[in-house]
Structure 1
């Protein structure tokens, strides 16, 4: 069977990243290909230098007792946080080993295997913010420059910005012009491609939206820390402001609900939750309060009522808010904004129209990838849509 390689953001900490990687793999497999994600070590920030413990001790010896005590307390707290994050990271890594076909080798700029291109019929870059010019990890590898032009395909990558800085425009123009098939995740991305290359490219849905509720539930897993009673679920990457937190407490008290905070490290038992548990938590929540794009997406996919907050520290001009706005507009879910929380039944959400629109978007995505992978009708019929 012919094989496709995926280039995406590699890491074991973000629900959306892991789940989009899994979904893109499944979407490609649905077209009759084997698929694996290539580990790209170009994405390691080499500019970060770790201070040695020896140097830390030397600096502490020159401080007074209160300064030393304060510093040691911070170090201890930092170590606790690192230990918690490491436990969480291990769970994410286990998910990846179970559900995502990752290569047992890695590539980086200047260290591309000679046989890499020959391993794959096509290479697909996406989705996530793999083309963000302000990321220290973005490189020509993200644009598949190591492969022949006809093999280069993008599926729903994001630039994460509205404009490419002048210093990067020359590279981006060259790299984008040499791509065979381009699709992007947001309208802003399509405008960037048009501006730099003159090409009109399709805006397609995030790959997580391709898979059905039944397929997502097939990899869901119940957490040992999941409440036995009904609960209100929160996942606030911006931490949430006082108003958001107070509102959650009021709702929980009024309706006798437990509170599960997936994004709060202070709620350790729920914070240490993997992607499979993330799906199960959303599926069974009475209502989901979130500022996450993928939080909104999985609410719709799993028929769970949700309320979306503006992420603390961001506004409507940011990439994150832009893609959430695009999602709410595209699927006619404007009323689920936090500003309407007192005017809607937060425990009920009619997804009838949204599902009709989702099916249309799935057809567009299917048609695009079928053309990009040069699939004939017979293969598509055998693999099923």
Structure 2
């Protein structure tokens, strides 16, 4: 079977890592590639924002990660959605994961629902809207969703939006990064150049950095230094990102994927709310914490405790959710597939 993944492709740690993880999860079904995307003009605007979090010198680390670990298609997913040969080139198209359906992204369009592909060839795995309210785009998105017969979401809020828009009950499944084990992630991890030998905590804050003093206090209490991914002191791509989480003393973040990797590697975790007046992106943490009983990891809650996790219970729950997620993916992939 030939399978194509349609997802965001940006200079973003979580995005690149989930793309790789979904590719790995799909490999048992056949040959897997990620569709190249025609660049929209608005992507330049989006990349200006990216530079706040990823220093330009680290871009080469992202390109190297993609070249080594992500297989891309020869075909290009065009903006006008006219690709007469694309639908025939693959047996299945998997949309996701990550915020591929976030209507607030400047590059979001009907392209992200693959209207040029027959419905029977499409499924969406662990997709996120990134928001809990679609605003004036709700009716438009409802129309797009009708063309995707098999949908699973990453967040409870997303599943509720799909139910409201289509009347369909869709499951919440694991982000692809959680389908891989820490041992799987070791294969792509790489120690950053210039990394000191001191004990350190991993800091990755995407919103306004209003908790700097609180995070520094946590580091001091652990006798550790702070490695801030966004300060530009080291070249950090996706591989370095994985290594840092795997080898730190604790994780302090407002990032969903940093939180996921902290849980996978059994690290003390402090989840700080994203301080950003433009959007509320807390729904993904609501679901993550519900699934794994990690509410006390959220710094906003009473009883905040970075060491609250029962890791034995976490692994039991993770195994259950992995099985459910793989079962859904297997069922959706094999609908309508005939084997010789």
Whether these two folds match at TM > 0.5 is yes
Q: Is the partner of 1:269 in helix, strand or coil?
A: coil
Contiguous gaps of at least 5 residues in structure 1 = 49-77, 380-385
Superposition RMSD in Å: 2.6
Moved more, 350-359 or 90-99: 350-359
Task: Provide structure 2 residue ranges, at least 5 long, that are not aligned to the other structure.
Answer: none
Give, in whole Å, the separation in 1 of the partners of 2:208 and 2:130: 21
**Distance between the aligned counterparts of 2:199 and 2:264, measured in 1?**
20
2:286 corresponds to which of 313, 320, 325: 325
Equivalent of 2:84 in 107, 114, 131: 114
Q: 2:33–2:73: 8 Å Cα contact kept in structure 1?
A: yes
Match of 1:350 among 300, 306, 310: 310
Aligned residues: 332
- Which residue number in structure 2 is paired with residue 65 of structure 1? none
Q: Which whole-Å CA distance do the structure 2 matches of 1:305 and 1:46 have between them?
A: 35
Deviations 1:349-373 (A, max 9, x none): 4322122111111111111111111
Alignment match of 1:125 (pick from 55, 77, 95): 95
Match of 1:217 among 186, 197, 205: 186
Quote the Cα distance in structure 1 between the aligned partners of 2:263 and 2:141.
34
Maintained 8 Å contact 1:287/1:347 = no
5 Å-filtered alignment, 1:290-309, equals 290-309=253-272
Matched, 1:139 2:109: yes
Q: 1:331 to 1:44 in 2, by over 3 A?
A: farther
> What's the offset of the Cα at 1:110?
2.4
Offset of 1:247 from its aligned partner? Answer: 2.6
Kept in 1, the 8 Å contact 2:131–2:283? The answer is no
What's the CA shift for 1:207?
Answer: 0.7
Name which of 171, 196, 210 aligns with 1:227: 196
1:368 matched to 2:328: yes
1:287 has 2:250 as partner:
yes
Post-superposition CA distance 1:244-264 (Å, at most 9, x none): 222333343344322211123
Distance 1:245 1:136, change over 3 A: closer
Q: What is the alpha-carbon distance in structure 2 between the residues aligned to residue 370 and residue 238 of structure 1? A: 37
1:3 is aligned to: 2
The Cα offsets for residues 311-361 of structure 1, whole Å up to 9 and x where unpaired, read as: 22369x82x2111122112101122122469864x4674322122111111
Name the CA distance, whole Å, in 1 between partners of 2:130 and 2:243.
29
Map 1:1-385 onto structure 2 (within 5 A): 2-11=1-10, 13-30=11-28, 32-41=29-38, 43-45=40-42, 85-110=55-80, 112-166=82-136, 168-241=137-210, 244-264=211-231, 268-270=232-234, 272-313=235-276, 318=280, 320-339=281-300, 344=305, 346=306, 349-374=309-334
Bigger Cα Rg: 1
**Pair 216,195 (structure 1): closer, same or farther in 2 beyond 3 Å:** same
Q: Deviations over 1:91-130 (max 9, x none)?
A: 1111011100112442222264322111100001111111
- Alpha-carbon distance change, 341 to 215 in structure 1, aligned in 2, over 3 angstroms: farther
Tell me if the contact between 1:226 and 1:281 (Cα under 8 Å) persists in the aligned partners: no
Q: Aligned equivalents of 1:39 and 1:245: distance in 2?
A: 38
* 3-state SS, counterpart of residue 157 of structure 2: helix
CA displacement 1:62-104 (0-9 Å, x = unmatched) = xxxxxxxxxxxxxxxx9xx79x833211211110111001124
Q: TM-score when scaled to structure 2?
A: 0.89
Whether the 8 Å contact between 1:287 and 1:306 is mirrored in structure 2 is yes
Closer, same or farther: CA 164–256 of 1 in aligned 2, 3 Å = closer
CA distance in 1, matches of 2:58, 2:248: 21
